[in-house]
Structure 1
């Protein structure tokens, strides 16, 4: 059957229906995002049929794109096992005890943000940071009586700082590569928007900390948590070894999976030979998640985490979101919108503004920000050259909006992962993830005012 090209009206209608369906499903009926994404395949069926595509072809488009989730799926399953092993080895409990001893409510949020920034820059991954320091700081915050949503916001801001700025981050490498930008030029360009936003975020976290210090802090609760942890685990430097192994392996550029699994293996050995768990226990923990034998409800909420099964719902989001992206891409449903944008706005400011909006549109419609990177870079790369705009302007927009903004979209895989690991919904932590929404706003301001814009020399 002869294939038709989608019109602007048809494309716009499809996008509006998808966004409205997801928004109503989540906001009104509280339906799981994975279910909504799979149902969006059916929403696309009549549109694809109108363009001459059969349902089997549409399925093929979805499966082809969904295959790309194999690598990230392996990572999130590895993170699930790592979290469970770090709990059993006493790694996270040791950090909890140290944090409760040393950190006061006044400086807790600021320190959480800084620690997650440092860890994410070193590791080059927001997910690894969430699964290690992030979980530990959530526990410390609970002990100090800090609102979990605020703590999660600080963790997410810090975790995504390094995901954006680290030269080892996959998003940093990808955005610099697809825009043909030297990676250090890319990082320098990002610093102009990210560093000011990070400084302001730090000041805000300090201000919030001063305002909440002592509000709900109860020494008896902290003592109960610390005594409970000390009664369950050997608390000293030995349980910290697994996280050191992960950091060292990443610094040696051994890859995310290898680094995490190396830390997991070391944690298993410590859990079995030092903390006293059996091999059978560890097998259960790695698959189903760590469970502690205690009647202390606070400790149960802090420690019962991780395992491969805890990540299965996220895998469903991966497949559903990427499958939808494949259908939209292969049927050409997004092309009329981008063509309209590039034809209508014919100035450096206009092209940059539309690249910003296009990146936002992509992360809102598709659950994976890598799709946004490829789509926007492909469609706007030549336009930036036409108006003598250096490629780092485009790569910065991709990261400012695509990388940081993705953590604020409830159905994005990154936001889903953060919500699942930290135990706080995206909508709850969103107002407090200051870096993630201030950076895109600052990026937009730079575009409108045309400041910090690199031009190709005539």
Structure 2
């Protein structure tokens, strides 16, 4: 679930033109920013927010040399935040959802079921499959990760198996649904950006989603089967189950909050309303079933659930399991959104990307090279703007005419967007989605990146289909019914 935005820049809206730098000059700030992001975040582990602000300053200084004023950047940033406000509210409401589901006993119930029913050898596979189902039905990767994903991480933590692999499986499953669900805003907006029918778009994505899913299932199955079952401390698992059952009253009625999310999503109700109603139902259950006071339930919603709300002593294992959620837990990701939009506004107004890519597109001679360049550009831009919807329209603006000239159907471009933008944004810690998943699952991005198989194999299969098209008679590459320009 991402943020809707208009990609019209301030200059375009006011009818002004901004002089563009030469490609060799435009490359300078890009190199500097890559060094700041890669070196500052990846190597020196400086705060990502500060590195984004520093990178934004680089582009603002560069833009100022070509007549782009600070007021233009801030105005553009303000417009982005205005249009992203519903998404920011959803981000905060997911924190509230986790806190209230903990207080209601909903997530402890899921963990209890998981510990009793899941064989450690199949935890990774089930983490992918279950999260994929939830994400497909709800159309939101964030919602799937913030609910069932949190429960699965709790199961993995208790079983003392790899949190990195479990998180990678959750991420893969979450983005399976975000990519293929007709309820997903990113799926709808990527199709809209190129003017494709949403269902044609989804069917065309199956050419890369199916093999990516198969690879993911095989990887998670092998990783799970390689576990030494004797290394899993069954005593700790049994003890955790007994402690959770003692601390919480567990029964199927606690599944009402997730049922509200599923039903509301299927009925295509506004996500924010659905999440709030689910949280309210969880507060009611926390009071009626778990015996918490209304004040305690509200505290869990705002500050997060903690073991201080539970009677008696609580083990360290259960404490790590249930201490999470609340509006406050999402303050850092929400602030990150503001930093990301400052960076995106500075980048877009500098016109650097348009200058660098326009010359490259003219030199592309084959379908394979065109698709590969689209994929790499999408990956680079989403990691620069941290906003999928802005990136969709920017990519279509850059490559749409090139696809038409080669007689390619728009679904080829929209699929390339999904494979390089939607499902890869989560991999980098300086993106909004990356920050959300890392904070929600409690696993660093670079730790789960190798195991987020679905999120990077889609890009590989998308490129392969394009390059192999002359041999496979165009398998997976759809031609347009309209004549090429």
Same fold, TM exceeding 0.5?
yes
C-alpha distance in 2, partners of 1:218/1:341?
56
C-alpha distance in 2, partners of 1:280/1:86?
15
C-alpha distance in 1, partners of 2:294/2:21?
57
Of residues 251, 258, 264, the one that matches 1:243 is 258
Of residues 367, 373, 390, the one that matches 1:348 is 367
Structure 1 partner of 2:13: none
- C-alpha RMSD of matched pairs (Å): 1.6
Matched, 1:407 2:426: yes
**Structure 1 residue 3: Cα displacement:** 4.3
Matched, 1:292 2:307: yes
SS of 2:321's partner is helix
**Structure 1 residue 258: Cα displacement:** 1.4
C-alpha distance in 1, partners of 2:178/2:69?
39
Matched, 1:66 2:85: no
C-alpha distance in 2, partners of 1:182/1:298?
49
C-alpha distance in 2, partners of 1:142/1:316?
28
**Structure 1 residue 410: Cα displacement:** 1.7
SS of 2:229's partner is coil
Structure 1 partner of 2:477: 453
SS of 1:212's partner is coil
| Cα deviation 1:139-188 (Å, max 9, x = unaligned) | 11122221111110111100110000101011110011111111111011
**Structure 1 residue 53: Cα displacement:** 2.3
Of residues 166, 189, 193, the one that matches 2:208 is 193
The total of aligned residue pairs comes to 458
Of residues 239, 262, 283, the one that matches 2:298 is 283
After TM superposition, list the pairs within 5 Å mapping 1:281-320 onto structure 2: 281-293=296-308, 294-320=313-339
Q: Which runs of 4+ in 1 moved over 4 A?
A: none
Q: Is this contact kept in 2: 1:362–1:371, CA < 8 A?
A: no
Q: Is this contact kept in 2: 1:201–1:435, CA < 8 A?
A: yes
| Cα deviation 1:243-272 (Å, max 9, x = unaligned) | 111111111111211111111110000001
Structure 2 partner of 1:228: 243
TM-score, normalising length: structure 1:
0.97
Matched, 1:374 2:389: no
Q: Which runs of 5+ in 2 are unaligned?
A: 1-15, 470-474
Structure 1 partner of 2:20: 5
Cα distance change on mapping 1:2 and 1:183 into 2, 3 Å: closer
Matched, 1:82 2:97: yes
Of residues 155, 173, 180, the one that matches 2:188 is 173
**Structure 1 residue 415: Cα displacement:** 1.4
**Structure 1 residue 312: Cα displacement:** 1.1
Of residues 355, 376, 382, the one that matches 1:363 is 382
After TM superposition, list the pairs within 5 Å mapping 1:381-392 onto structure 2: 381-392=400-411
Matched, 1:325 2:344: yes
Of residues 333, 356, 375, the one that matches 1:337 is 356
Of residues 12, 15, 32, the one that matches 2:30 is 15
| Cα deviation 1:205-253 (Å, max 9, x = unaligned) | 1111111141531111112211111111101111111111111111111
Structure 2 partner of 1:429: 448
Q: Is this contact kept in 1: 2:368–2:466, CA < 8 A?
A: yes
C-alpha distance in 1, partners of 2:297/2:34?
42
C-alpha distance in 2, partners of 1:62/1:241?
39
Of residues 90, 106, 116, the one that matches 2:131 is 116
Q: Is this contact kept in 2: 1:48–1:58, CA < 8 A?
A: no
| Cα deviation 1:26-85 (Å, max 9, x = unaligned) | 123211211211222222232012112233333333333333331210111110000000
Q: Which runs of 5+ in 1 are unaligned?
A: none
C-alpha distance in 1, partners of 2:437/2:266?
24
Q: Is this contact kept in 2: 1:64–1:326, CA < 8 A?
A: no
**Structure 1 residue 88: Cα displacement:** 0.3
Q: Is this contact kept in 1: 2:179–2:187, CA < 8 A?
A: yes
SS of 1:298's partner is helix
**Structure 1 residue 378: Cα displacement:** 1.8
Q: Is this contact kept in 2: 1:104–1:144, CA < 8 A?
A: no
Cα distance change on mapping 1:66 and 1:341 into 2, 3 Å: farther
